[in-house]
Amino acid sequence: MKIKVVTLCSGYDSQCLALERLKRDYPGFDYELVAWSEFDPESKLPIDKQPAVIAHNALFPQWAGRNLGDMTKIDWTRLKGERIDLLTYSTPCTDVSQAGLQKGIAEGSGTRSSILWYTRNAIKVLRPKFLMMENVKALVSKKFKPFYDKWIAELYELGYDSYARVCNGTEVNVPQNRERIFVVSVRRDSEREPEYKFPNPLPCTRTVEDILEDEVDEKFYLKDERVQDFIERIQHGEG
């Protein structure tokens, strides 16, 4: 039986890349991406021309027609009755990250990060068995912890027990010091109490040198004027 999946703020969908690896390594495992949501409200391009959507469609052309677009406007009742096993939501970290301006994540604030709260619309209708959130470590910092705690409390009221841990890329043999908060929420069913345990960290045996390419196509190089634009933005405090 295929695992039925919905991903929000999908980007190129690293979650589905992980599921593809499971398909490769475990014969008999399979999944279906029932729906996904990727949309850049600040882009002036049509949705199918936006970079993240192009990347997603290139990796998963079989699901190209299942992008529901702006998650703040989705009518989830169109999927009501569909069995959903896993819902993932990597909502924007822009206004929480230390690399941004930290405008906040409060519901109704209008920041990009505040669309987190629209996730509840999907949860209430779809009632997935499992939820998974990934975001920057700053979400559990002193400044934003009250909003994080409020969200976890809401998940509990919706019938989910949540398990969280800050994980570093080095813990999964990725040579990058990149910390992220992961929250796995399990729906409470009457027949048993939910339980989840994060896997033990793996030793990091690789270095950056192991993954760098000897020759890089020039199409990946930034033009001088683009580099200068980045520098000027940083100097003016624009991130």
Positions marked catalytic: 93
Q: Taken in order 194, 202, 92, 218, is the CA torsion positive or negative?
A: negative
Burial of 55 (0-12, 13-18, 19+ CB in 10 A): middle
List 35's β-bridge partners, or say none. 6
Selection from 196, 15, 186, 34 nearest residue 90 by Cα: 15
- Beta-carbon contacts of 103 under 8 Å, excluding residues fewer than 6 positions away, are 95, 109, 111, 113
Radius of gyration of the chain (CA): 19
Write the CB contacts of 96 (distance below 8 Å, at least 6 apart in sequence). 102, 104, 105, 113, 135, 136, 138, 139, 144
Q: Are 10 and 37 in contact (CB under 8 A)?
A: yes
Q: Name the nearest CA neighbour of 39 among 95, 80, 91.
A: 91
